[in-house]
Amino acid sequence: MIAVAVTSTWYLVLAAVLFGIGLAGVMIRRNPLIMFMCIELMLNAVNLSFVTLANHLGDIGGQTTVLFVMVVAAAEVVVGLGIIVAILRRRPGATADDLSELKG
Amino acid sequence: MISALVASDFATPHVDYHALAPEIVLGVGICLLIVLDLFLAESRKWLVSTVAGLILLGAVLPVVTLGVIGSDVRSMFDGRYVIDNFSLVLKALFLLSGYVVVLMSSRDTEERTPYQGEYYTLLLTSIMGMVMMASARDLVSVFVALEFLSIPAYMLAAWRKRDSKSNEAGMKYFLLGVFASAVMLYGMSLLYGVTGSTRLVDIGQAVTGTDHLVGVQVLGIVFVIVGFAFKVSAVPFHTWAPDVYQGAPTPITAFLSVASKAAGFVALSLLVFLAFPAAKSVYEPFLWVLAAVTITVGNLLALKQKNIVRMLAYSSVSQGGFILMPLAVAGTGDARTSLRAVVVYLIIYAATNLGAFAVVMAVSRKTHSGEIASYGGLFNYAPGLAAVMTLFLASLAGIPPFGGWYAKFGAFKAVLEARTGAAYTLAVIAAVNTVVSAAYYITLMREMWMKPAPDGDESPVRVPRNLVAALVITGVATLAFGVLPGFSGYGAITGLAGAFGR
């Protein structure tokens, strides 16, 4: 057994990796629902980063921010799913590439 | 646990109700509007738009009284929510441009949507977010205000839910908007980590010394600016703007291209002037590139547009570059001149662009088309509309003596005062682009004044009263700001905007 102390750095690296995965997902995936999930992943990476830094600094500010981010993310889900459902109802299986009526 | 809470030195924060009155009027008004909508018969729904307009005007009143009483800074919640002259000027701008959007919307929504109550409620909510943005002095309140104004705007962009173009506009706006928020938030978390505070002023004190800016600080600053660059549709983060502007209902397009954009610039200037004043070696080159690319690419793409809304969309992208210009020299030049240039540009641009979209709405009531070619012969059958449209286009092109000229003059003055090679280069790029931009504005003018009507139909356009009111307000403002830049009051307003309270 190798005992390794899990320091703040580990969490920050994890947050950065999660953020990177979310970022790559938004760029690569074309299903609007999955793109949206990847954005949620990015938001949660931000939350992890805020909490870790707040713990590291011994400051309550970062933890309060996380509460605001969570509430706003919930509101965004409601609106986003509404818009996505409105589109998929008219055009089942539409991907982000199909949405190209407007261009130029 | 509870005893610990009781024993802690928690003090109720001091709340200045007069300073918060605009937000309180709006908040109460939004609730009233929802209830009113419930009890109105379908035939009397037009009352909703009237009441929404009155609520906005009611919220302007306390802004005026606060401005008249004095220029002292009212700071609340440990300096996280500040009412100073800068925020008062912008609150008035947001509320009044909201009022013009309500005037533009009323007939359009009556004819096209059964959901009038919801429409105005969301519009007012979004304006409330903007009003809060003007006072936010903390990363958290900036973020909450930004989402407060964005989330209703996503719904408004997708308003015509049976129209696939509107759906597409809403979807693109939503995905890119939330993506930008996530990038900006990650930047904020990094900034919080290196400075240990979410207050903008504290961040400004911690991010000091151009020589020992650590990598994380640079990353945080860049991420936050990228997030807002999406909001203000700066190239290369502009791709959503033309699509959303074309797909959304036209009053909402006007709203997004003016008020939402202005709110993004307010946040950007808060960050540049309060949070990063010592980091000019990071943000100045970045904003320089953004400004230069935004002006140029916006113009070149506007040149080849056939649809008037897309043309105005790219023109507004390019105008955004002019507003970025003073921010790109905010550190080396005079900070007060730069901030004043930004605020004056926002005010004049709001009047002009709202007016241009009001004309587009009036003309499309007859032609039912967005093609530039459909503007042929406008002077013959609607000389009034052709004349005001010419006024707005000339103002956008920066031709004296209209408002846009004075706005551009301020932006160039701020850039030239920086007296560096980079600043002079930026000014030259912008000057060349001003000439290029005149080309597409003049194309539209020529269409209106010299070409015959495409289908020979020269029956007059019936413009509803509300739209006439919107045209008069924006037209008079555009003309007055240009002809009388020094008239009493206006000079005081621009002077007021020059300083931030802490």
- Residues B194 and B214: beta-carbon distance below 8 Å: yes
Section B238-266 average pLDDT: 90
Q: Which residue of B has its CA nearest to A55?
A: B193
Cα separations in angstroms, B374 against A98, B232, B364, B366, B467:
29, 30, 9, 10, 20
Q: Cα(B403)–Cα(B414) distance, rounded to whole angstroms?
A: 17
Q: Cβ contacts of residue B102 below 8 Å, gap of 6+?
A: B49, B52, B53, B56, B120, B123
Which of B9, B10, B139, B175 has the most A C-beta neighbours within 10 Å, making it the best mutation to test the interface with A? B175
HEC letters along B55-85:
HHHHHHHHHHHHHHHCCCCEEECCCCEEECH
pLDDT for A19 equals: 94
Residue-wise pLDDT for B314-328, tens only, equals 999 999 999 999 998
Q: Cα(B385)–Cα(B246) distance, rounded to whole angstroms?
A: 21
Q: Which residue of B has its CA nearest to A35?
A: B175
Question: Is the Cβ of A66 closer than 8 Å to some Cβ of chain B?
Answer: no
pLDDT for B111 equals: 65
Angle at B60 between CA B58 and CA B63, to 5 degrees: 130
B111 inside domain: no
B36 inside domain: no
Q: Which two three-digit tokens encode residue A55? A: 């713990």
Section B392-416 average pLDDT: 88
Q: Are the Cβ atoms of A56 and B193 closer than 8 angstroms? A: yes
Question: Is the Cβ of A103 closer than 8 Å to some Cβ of chain B?
Answer: yes
pLDDT category at B488 given cuts 50, 70, 90 is: very low
Which of A65, A97, A100 has the most B C-beta neighbours within 10 Å, making it the best mutation to test the interface with B? A65
* φ, ψ (nearest 5 deg) of residue B453: -60, 135
Cα separations in angstroms, A65 against B186, B217, B222:
12, 19, 20
Measured between beta carbons, the chain B residues lying within 8 angstroms of A44 are: none
Q: Which two three-digit tokens encode residue A79? A: 């609106």
Domain ranges in chain A are: 9-95
Q: How far is residue B20 CA from its own chain's centroid? A: 22
Question: Is the Cβ of A18 closer than 8 Å to some Cβ of chain B?
Answer: no
Domain count, chain B: 1
Measured between beta carbons, the chain B residues lying within 8 angstroms of A26 are: 175, 179
Q: Cα(B145)–Cα(B124) distance, rounded to whole angstroms?
A: 13
Which among A36, A65, A82 has the least Cβ separation from residue B175? Answer: A36
pLDDT at B177 over 60: yes
Angle at B370 between CA B150 and CA B377, to 5 degrees: 140
Cα separations in angstroms, B226 against B36, B177, B179, B234, B490:
41, 12, 11, 9, 33
B406 inside domain: yes
- Residues B148 and B123: beta-carbon distance below 8 Å: no
B192 inside domain: no
Q: Are the Cβ atoms of B151 and A76 closer than 8 angstroms? A: yes
- Residues B342 and B327: beta-carbon distance below 8 Å: yes
HEC letters along B210-252:
CCCCCHHHHHHHHHHHHHHHHHCCCCCCCCHHHHHHHHCCHHH
* φ, ψ (nearest 5 deg) of residue A48: -60, -45
B113 inside domain: no
In one-letter notation, the amino acid at residue B455 is D
Q: Cβ contacts of residue A93 below 8 Å, gap of 6+?
A: none
- Residues B301 and B458: beta-carbon distance below 8 Å: no
**Short-list B178, B483, B271, B368, CA closest to A26:** B178
pLDDT for A1 equals: 59
Q: Cα(B297)–Cα(B416) distance, rounded to whole angstroms?
A: 22
pLDDT for B78 equals: 80
Section B300-310 average pLDDT: 90
* R_g (Cα) of chain B, nearest Å: 22
Q: Cα(B254)–Cα(A92) distance, rounded to whole angstroms?
A: 31
Report the gap between the CA of A98 and the closest CA in chain B (Å).
Answer: 10
Q: Are the Cβ atoms of A96 and B155 closer than 8 angstroms? A: no
Instruction: Give the number of A-B residue pairs with CB atoms closer than 8 Å.
Output: 124
User: Which of the pair, B453 or B269, is modelled with greater confidence?
Assistant: B269
- B74-76 vs B81-83, strand pairing mode: antiparallel
Report the gap between the CA of B493 and the closest CA in chain A (Å).
Answer: 34
B289 inside domain: yes
Which of A29, A39, A64, A97 has the most B C-beta neighbours within 10 Å, making it the best mutation to test the interface with B? A39
The half-sphere exposure of B317 on its side-chain side, counting CA atoms within 13 A, is 32
Measured between beta carbons, the chain A residues lying within 8 angstroms of B185 are: 43, 46, 69
Q: Cα(B272)–Cα(B274) distance, rounded to whole angstroms?
A: 6
Reported ipTM: the value is 0.93
Q: Are the Cβ atoms of B192 and A53 closer than 8 angstroms? A: yes
**Short-list B263, B289, B282, CA closest to B223:** B282
Which among B179, B190, B196 has the least Cβ separation from residue A59? Answer: B196
Q: Are the Cβ atoms of A49 and B179 closer than 8 angstroms? A: no
pLDDT for B339 equals: 86
pLDDT for B213 equals: 60
Residue-wise pLDDT for A32-73, tens only, equals 889 999 999 999 999 999 999 999 888 888 899 999 999 999
Q: Cα(B105)–Cα(B48) distance, rounded to whole angstroms?
A: 11
Q: How far is residue B439 CA from its own chain's centroid? A: 25
User: Which of the pair, B18 or B292, is modelled with greater confidence?
Assistant: B292
Report the gap between the CA of B307 and the closest CA in chain A (Å).
Answer: 10
Which of B142, B160, B172, B178 has the most A C-beta neighbours within 10 Å, making it the best mutation to test the interface with A? B178
**What domain range includes position B473?**
279-502
B9 inside domain: no
Question: Is the Cβ of B227 closer than 8 Å to some Cβ of chain A?
Answer: no
User: Which of the pair, B156 or B211, is modelled with greater confidence?
Assistant: B156
Which among A68, A84, A103 has the least Cβ separation from residue B243? Answer: A103
CATH number of this structure's domain A9-95, picked from the four choices 1.10.287.3510, 3.40.50.720, 3.10.580.10, 3.40.190.10: 1.10.287.3510
Cβ under 8 Å to A: B residues 98-137: none
Looking up tokens 């920086």 gives: B418
Average pLDDT, chain B: 85
Q: Are the Cβ atoms of A35 and B310 closer than 8 angstroms? A: no
Q: How far is residue B323 CA from its own chain's centroid? A: 11
Section B252-268 average pLDDT: 91
Question: Is the Cβ of A44 closer than 8 Å to some Cβ of chain B?
Answer: no
Question: Is the Cβ of A27 closer than 8 Å to some Cβ of chain B?
Answer: no
B474 inside domain: yes
